[in-house]
Structure 1
C-alpha cells in the first residue's frame, strides 16, 4: 500500500486545513520544495499536492509552488485543485506532474474525465470528497445530491488510474479515517481507491492496510506527519507490502 504524504498549498505555503475550511489553516512550511525533498529523501514513492486556492478559484493559483515541487524531487507527483479543463490537464502533465486529480469537474462534466483518460492513459485520477456520503465540490464549499459511490461508478470503464476518497468530516481532525466507508466503496469498484482524511496514527494505517483486499491501494496523510504524530519511516514500514 502506497503512502502519499500531502502538501496542501495556500498562498504558496504548506498548510493543513480542518474540514476544508480555508480560514482554519495552519502553516507548517513556507518552502514547499524543501518539504517535498524531505518526503522523497525519507523514501516516499509519491507526493500528493493540492492547490487549495485553485480549488476555490477554479483555476491554478499556486503554480510556481507546484512547479518548484516537481523540479525538486525525483518521485512522481499527483496534483489536484482547480484543474477543470483539458488545457489545464495538458499543461500540468507537460510540466512534469505525473497524475492530475479531477474533482469538481468529475461531477460537473463527466465526459471531460473520459476524454482526459483516453488522451492521457494512466495519468488521470478522480477525487471524490464526501460529506455524509454525498459528493462536495468547489473546494468542499458545495454539497451535491450525488453519492460518492454513484459518481465513482460512472468512471469504472473510463480508465481512471485511481479514486481518491476523502471523508471531509474527518479531514484535518486526526480523528481516524473512515475505514469502513472507504473499504465499502473500494469493494464495489475495480478502480483502485486511495484513502484520505483523518489519519492520525500507525494504528490507522494498520487498519487501512488490513482492508487492502477490498481495493484500498494507498493512503494520504498530512497533518499527522507534520506534527509528529506519525513517524514517516515507521509509516512506510507499516504499509510496505
Structure 2
C-alpha cells in the first residue's frame, strides 16, 4: 500500500496555528502567511497539503476563505485537502471548483448523512470523511461536542458511500507530540472499506515507521512535529516512498 504524508496547515484568524487537543485557546502561531507556508511544503517535495479552517469548523461555514484561496494560488501542482465548515453542497461545490483536490466532511458526516452521501456520489474520489475520536467516540463542531457514535460505527455507516478516504484523529493526542495511536488507527483501517489516514500525535519519524509497518494505513498528517523540526521532511518523504 502506498503511504502519503500530508503536512498540516491549520487556519485560525488567517494565521497558521497548531492547537493542543483541539482547544482553540491553546493555539501556537507558527506563520502569518499560510500561502508562503504551503509553498514551502511544495518546495520540500510534499505532494499534498492538509488544510483545516478551524474557525470554520466552529462556525459551520468557511471563515478563512481568503487564506485558503491564497494557498491554492501559491501552490500550483500541490494537491490541497481541505476541511472545516463544509456543511452543504454549495460550499463543497465551490471549494472543489476553486481547485481544492479533496474536501473533508467531519461534523456533516455525523449530523447530515444525506448531504455527506450525496457529496460522495457527486464528487467521486474527492470527498474524505473526517472521523475525530475522543475516547473512541466521534466529536463534532470543531471537537466542541462529542456524539454517541463510535469511530468504527461511523466508518461502517459509510462503507458503501464511495468516500475517497477517512482522516482519523485521536483528539487526546493531537498537537501533544505524544505519539500516534497506531493500534487504534490500524484497527480502523482494517475494518474500514476505504483508505485511512492517521492524524494526531506524530512526534517523530518513529511514528511514521510504526504506521507504515502496519501495512494497512494509507498515510499520515504531520503537524507540530514538522513545525518544531522533530521530523525531517526529506527523511520522512524518503521513508514514505521506500
| TM-score scaled by length of structure 1 | 0.98
The C-alpha deviation readout for 1:163-205, integer Å capped at 9, x for no partner, is 0000000000000000000000110112000000000101111
2:139 to 136, 139, 154: 136
Instruction: Classify the secondary structure of the residue corresponding to 2:186.
Output: helix
Give the length in aligned residue pairs: 239
- 1:168 pairs with 2:162: no
1:225 matched residue in structure 2: 226
- 1:191 pairs with 2:172: no
Q: Distance in 2 between matches of 1:152 and 1:82?
A: 20
Q: Distance in 2 between matches of 1:224 and 1:195?
A: 14
Q: Distance in 1 between matches of 2:16 and 2:234?
A: 20
1:85 matched residue in structure 2: 88
Q: Distance in 2 between matches of 1:186 and 1:121?
A: 20
2:38 to 36, 41, 45: 36
Q: How does 1:49-128 map to 2 (within 5 A)?
A: 49-73=51-75, 74-128=77-131
Q: Distance in 2 between matches of 1:47 and 1:156?
A: 25
The C-alpha deviation readout for 1:108-157, integer Å capped at 9, x for no partner, is 01111111111111110000000000000000000111000000111111
Q: Distance in 2 between matches of 1:65 and 1:138?
A: 21
Q: Distance in 2 between matches of 1:188 and 1:227?
A: 33
Give the aligned CA root-mean-square deviation in angstroms.
Answer: 0.6
| TM-score scaled by length of structure 2 | 0.98
Instruction: Classify the secondary structure of the residue corresponding to 1:56.
Output: helix
2:240 matched residue in structure 1: 239
The C-alpha deviation readout for 1:22-65, integer Å capped at 9, x for no partner, is 00000000000000011011110100000000000000000000
Structure 1 residue runs of 4 or more that deviate by more than 6 Å after TM superposition: none
Unaligned stretches of 5+ in structure 1? Answer: none
2:8 matched residue in structure 1: 6
Unaligned stretches of 5+ in structure 2? Answer: none
Instruction: Classify the secondary structure of the residue corresponding to 1:156.
Output: coil
Superposition deviation, residue 96 in structure 1: 0.5
Q: Distance in 2 between matches of 1:209 and 1:13?
A: 31
